[in-house]
Copies of this chain bind each other. A is one copy, B any other.
Amino acid sequence: MRGAAAGEGWPLDDRGAAYGDGLFETVLVRDGRPRLWDEHLARLARGCHVLGLPLPAEHRLAAPLAEAPSGLAVLKLMLTRGSGGRGYRAPATPAPRLRWQLAPFTPDVARWQEGVRVRHCALRLGIQPRLAGLKHLNRLENVLARAEWDDDEVAEGLLCDSDGRLVEATAMNLFWRRAGALETPRMDRCGVAGTLREALIERLEVREVDILPEALEAAEAVWLGNSVQGVWPVTRLDDAAGRPLLRWRLSASHRAFQAEAHRLLGYPLPDLN
């Protein structure tokens, strides 16, 4: 794991550390070249607009790529409002602070291939349209949701909002095929609009829908995906107590969607079994 400038952390009064007043991106990098870079920049720009931060110049955001190892790595970019202001009141002219970490990465090929078991989380996401879709630094809900299970057989947890609508998994977006159409939850009230999700919506005409979790009963195939891990077919869904609710058999339909996503990330296509 390397960080910029080597060993440099956050000052005690950084507003990112104090209030989560900032944004981050985790970018898949292969041989120093980022994947879905435009989508990452676009989301960071949206976040900067909402938080009232100046977007750093692209050459600054891309500079850490020069330090990337060969092969696969994950670049984490963190941008905070920096120091200053009075309490929650932001400084009139923020001096944002940009930090990064680079770590080698190995995707979980078994999850690509065999699919994963997931469960519902009991925690409901609070509804906050002002922050919806952004990858901001206020992630306690995700941390609490991830703490709901400890069984390594369970790969992810599904989250609903406080009105009971399906939103996402703790660190991945959710997709399914129903009556032949690809769908994913809308991301306008809470949740993180993943960059892989953005790219797939555009390329595969994925419909963004407002939906309760029961709708998954009618799904022919279900996937989780993000821009680092790629796409995992979901083969089993448990309830929040760990009891099995639904199962799906891996199919060619699973593989076709995965193939599209993996093309975008430069990942291999899983075997059709």
Contacts and interface: CB of A to CB of B under 8 A. Distances in A.
B130 A19 contact: no
A8 B12 contact: yes
Nearest to A16: B17
Interface in A148-186: 162, 170-171
Interface string A139-152: 11111111100000
A90 B17 contact: no
A12 B126 contact: no
Contact of A146 (B10, B88, B137, B162): B88
Contacts of A143: 15, 19, 21, 51, 81, 88, 90
Given A17-B17, A20-B19, A21-B139, A52 B147 contact: yes
Interface centre among A17, A50, A123, A170 (most CB of B within 10 A): A17
A90 B147 contact: yes
A162 B90 contact: no
A126 B123 contact: no
Tallying the copies of this chain within the complex gives 2
Contacts of A141: 128, 130-131
Contacts of A68: none
B18 A137 contact: yes
Given A10-B10, A12-B101, A101-B12, A89 B146 contact: yes
A90 B146 contact: yes
Contacts of A35: none
A138 interface: yes
A127 B130 CA distance: 14
A137 B10 contact: no
A27 interface: no
Given A126-B190, A170-B88, A140 B10 contact: no
B12 A3 contact: yes
19 contacts: A9-B9, A10-B10, A10-B14, A16-B17, A17-B17, A17-B80, A20-B139, A21-B140, A52-B147, A88-B139, A88-B170, A89-B147, A90-B146, A123-B130, A126-B127, A128-B162, A131-B140, A131-B141, A138-B138
Given A21-B140, A90-B143, 7 more contacts: A18-B78, A19-B138, A51-B143, A125-B126, A126-B127, A127-B127, A162-B162
3 interchain residue pairs of minimum CB distance: A126-B126, A20-B20, A138-B138
